[in-house]
């Protein structure tokens, strides 16, 4: 009886809020996701095993936090600044030489990835949006970090014809254990592009470290598919983590936002070569032959963002777990993994520090999280966004 009442209520609310578009999408999958129980059981809480330090604040719309060494972190700020935290202190001046960016909507200076041999070659890769005569698009450029700042830029991925819409850029960049660079690109708010294999938007790309195309990419040699494509059918993946021991690739992906399908349907996906993740043909818990279902799906939406695998020694109970932060959900989610299969979950920091944008394991074995309250979607914060550190409670 309760399920019937709840379903009726949801249908009424859906049609009131969305009458003009209701018959354009299938509401069944949305209702099924709202009414069914969690597929991944909740774990016993570990919230008493750690404490949270505010390492720094005063950040403006930070996007990525990436460790460079045990005592050094890079943080990107979307207006176009690359910041450094050294020995627990945010340096006052940004790194010189960052590229000019199109800081519009969801765009700006987004991700940073360090070359696998960064310790000796000092090569850093930046992903950012640019404004061109073909619209806003995502570009990736390699720089050499020097004592004078970022030097010797080399465009690794120039971008592809984009859109006037300042949304769904992706963009996470990560090196795999195969030493290839993986890049997530959103479909720019135009869902059909995710299924067009001659359009790189709505895809995961795989490139060599110099921007050339690997000969073993899944679609190399086909005339009907761009050779850069590694996976496709993505809406907007704003998180990607690659397990440094196994090479397992997981991505977090934003589900629909009512303007393109019923809300919710956020995903954690296992990314494999040549796979189609279904958008916009399927969403939420729908299944379609030839498409890969999510490992985990969340309705209502959490708005998942950055993610990482934890392999440190500071929290032995977390070793091997997958962590991802959330914007709307304002929490850090821990997925206990058994190989590539999630077997339990825990929600941490819920509503304690606002919107959360990225998470990374530092060289010291602690987890670092950046907040996202000062961007266009956040409530604002007079003292700016923060860098948080999770460390053992008994230290």
DSSP per-residue codes, 26-95:
-HHHHHHHHHSPPSSPBPPP-GGGEEEEEEEEEESSEEEEEEEETTEEEEEETTTEEEEEETTEE-SSPP
Selected catalytic residue, list 87, 115, 168, 347:
168
The confidence score (pLDDT) of residue 259 equals 80
Residue 49 CA, distance from chain mean position = 26
The confidence score (pLDDT) of residue 57 equals 98
Instruction: Please tell me the distance from the alpha carbon of residue 25 to that of residue 48, in angstroms, as a whole number.
Output: 44
H helices present in the chain, as ranges: 2-18, 27-35, 118-121
Give residue 28's pLDDT band: very low, low, confident or very high (50, 70, 90).
low
Instruction: Please tell me the distance from the alpha carbon of residue 107 to that of residue 128, in angstroms, as a whole number.
Output: 7
Q: Is the dihedral of CA 366, 369, 370, 371 positive or negative?
A: negative
The confidence score (pLDDT) of residue 395 equals 76
Q: Is the dihedral of CA 135, 138, 140, 141 positive or negative?
A: positive
Q: Name the DSSP class of 201.
A: T
Q: Is the dihedral of CA 361, 304, 115, 141 positive or negative?
A: negative
- Distance in Å from the first CA to the final CA of the chain: 51
Rg (CA), the chain: 20
Instruction: Please tell me the distance from the alpha carbon of residue 373 to that of residue 195, in angstroms, as a whole number.
Output: 33
**Residues constituting the chain:** 395
Q: Which domains does the chain have, with CATH numbers?
A: 47-392 (2.120.10.30)
Instruction: Please tell me the distance from the alpha carbon of residue 54 to that of residue 389, in angstroms, as a whole number.
Output: 6
Report the SS3 class of residue 192.
Answer: helix
* Active-site annotation holds for 283: no
Q: Which tokens sit at 388?
A: 């948080």
**Tens of pLDDT, residues 99-143:** 999 999 999 999 999 999 999 999 999 999 999 999 999 999 999
Q: Which tokens sit at 290?
A: 């030839």
Q: What is the mean pLDDT of residues 76-97?
A: 98
* Number of neighbouring beta carbons within 10 Å of residue 105: 17
Is 26's pLDDT higher than 70? no
Bridge partner list, 127: 140
Nearest one of 34, 17, 59, 40 to 368, comparing CA atoms: 59
Cβ(369)–Cβ(359) below 8 Å:
yes
pTM of the shown model? 0.93
Phi, psi (rounded to 5 degrees) for 27: -80, -15
Q: What is the mean pLDDT of residues 145-174?
A: 96
Sequence-distant (6+) residues with CB within 8 A of 272 are 231, 249, 292
Instruction: Please tell me the distance from the alpha carbon of residue 349 to that of residue 354, in angstroms, as a whole number.
Output: 9
Is 185's pLDDT higher than 70? yes
Bridge partner list, 380: none
Q: What is the mean pLDDT of residues 330-349?
A: 97
Give residue 260's pLDDT band: very low, low, confident or very high (50, 70, 90).
confident
């Amino acid at each position: 009886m309760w399920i019937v009442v709840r379903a009726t209520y949801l249908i009424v609310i859906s049609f009131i809020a969305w009458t003009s578009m209701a018959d354009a999408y299938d509401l069944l999958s949305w209702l099924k996701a709202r009414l069914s129980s969690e597929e991944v059981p909740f774990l016993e809480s570990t919230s008493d095993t750690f404490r949270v330090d505010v390492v720094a604040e005063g950040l403006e719309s930070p996007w990525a936090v990436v460790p460079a060494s045990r005592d050094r972190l890079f943080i990107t700020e979307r207006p176009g600044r690359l910041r450094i935290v050294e020995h627990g202190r945010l340096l006052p001046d940004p790194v010189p030489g960052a590229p000019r960016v199109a800081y519009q909507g969801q765009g700006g200076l987004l991700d940073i990835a360090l070359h696998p041999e960064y310790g000796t070659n000092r090569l850093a890769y930046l992903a950012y949006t640019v404004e061109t005569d073909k619209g806003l698009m995502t570009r990736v450029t390699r720089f050499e970090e020097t004592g004078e700042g970022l030097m010797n830029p080399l465009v690794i991925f120039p971008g592809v014809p984009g859109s006037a819409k300042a949304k769904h850029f992706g963009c996470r960049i990560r090196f795999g254990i195969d030493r290839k660079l993986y890049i997530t690109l959103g479909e720019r708010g135009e869902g059909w592009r995710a299924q067009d294999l001659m359009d790189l938007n709505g895809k995961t790309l795989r490139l060599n470290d110099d921007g050339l195309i690997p000969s073993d990419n899944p679609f190399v040699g086909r005339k009907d598919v761009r050779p850069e494509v590694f996976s496709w059918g993505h809406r907007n993946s704003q998180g990607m983590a690659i397990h440094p021991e196994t090479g397992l690739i997981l991505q977090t992906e934003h589900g629909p936002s009512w303007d393109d399908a019923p809300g919710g349907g956020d995903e954690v996906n296992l990314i494999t070569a040549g796979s189609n993740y279904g958008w916009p043909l399927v969403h939420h818990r729908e299944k379609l032959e030839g498409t890969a279902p999510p490992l985990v799906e969340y309705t209502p939406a959490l708005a998942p963002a950055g993610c990482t695998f934890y392999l440190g020694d500071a929290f032995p109970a977390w070793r091997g777990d997958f962590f991802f932060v959330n914007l709307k959900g304002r929490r850090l989610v821990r997925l206990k993994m058994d190989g590539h299969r999630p077997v339990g979950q825990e929600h941490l920091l819920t509503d304690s520090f606002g919107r959360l944008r990225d998470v990374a394991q530092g060289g010291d074995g602690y987890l670092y999280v950046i907040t996202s309250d000062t961007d266009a979607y956040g409530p604002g914060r007079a003292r700016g966004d923060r860098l948080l550190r999770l460390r053992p409670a008994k230290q």
